[in-house]
Amino acid sequence: MTTPLREAALAHAAHWQAMTSEIKAVIIDRLDLPVPPEWLTDDQPLFGRGLELDSIDALELSMAIDQKFHMPVYEDDMSIFGSVGSFLSHLTTNREAAGEDIAAVLGIDLKEPQA
């Protein structure tokens, strides 16, 4: 038997997983990295010991973010690229503060198929 709280938690987890998958795909595609998106973890550092991205990658990634999510990233905002999870937290906070649905921004349809 599932409770409403459990269902809400499962829905939130599915929502988060769909959003992180989309962000990982953008990172891999835009930077042409030779790894599948599933290889990235949500808390893996993108720079330094993680994916070992450099400043050129940061510039490319900031342009991709602006194009895909309509969210310009400035030099003082680069900390949002610490990991996929930190970027998604920043994106979610900014979009929810603006009254936007983050799934819609990412182009993800989270509705259950009608039976």
Structure tokens at 45: 């550092």
Domain count along the chain: 1
Q: Is residue 85 part of a domain?
A: yes
User: The domain spanning residue 48 has which CATH number?
Assistant: 1.10.1200.10
Query: Cα(39)–Cα(56) distance, rounded to whole angstroms?
Result: 22
Q: Is residue 111 part of a domain?
A: no
Q: Is residue 31 part of a domain?
A: yes
Q: Is residue 58 part of a domain?
A: yes
Mean pLDDT of 9-38: 88
Q: Is residue 38 part of a domain?
A: yes
Q: Is residue 50 part of a domain?
A: yes
Q: Which of 48, 110, 35 is nearest to 83 (CA)?
A: 48
Q: Is residue 115 part of a domain?
A: no
Q: Which of 37, 8, 45 is nearest to 20 (CA)?
A: 37
Check residue 48 and give left, alpha or beta (phi > 0: left; psi -120 to 50: alpha). left
Confidence label for 29 from pLDDT (cuts 50, 70 and 90): very high
Q: Are 81 and 46 in contact (CB under 8 A)?
A: yes
Q: Which domain holds residue 46?
A: 4-106
Confidence label for 98 from pLDDT (cuts 50, 70 and 90): low
- pLDDT tens column, 40-74: 999 988 888 878 888 899 889 888 888 887 877 77
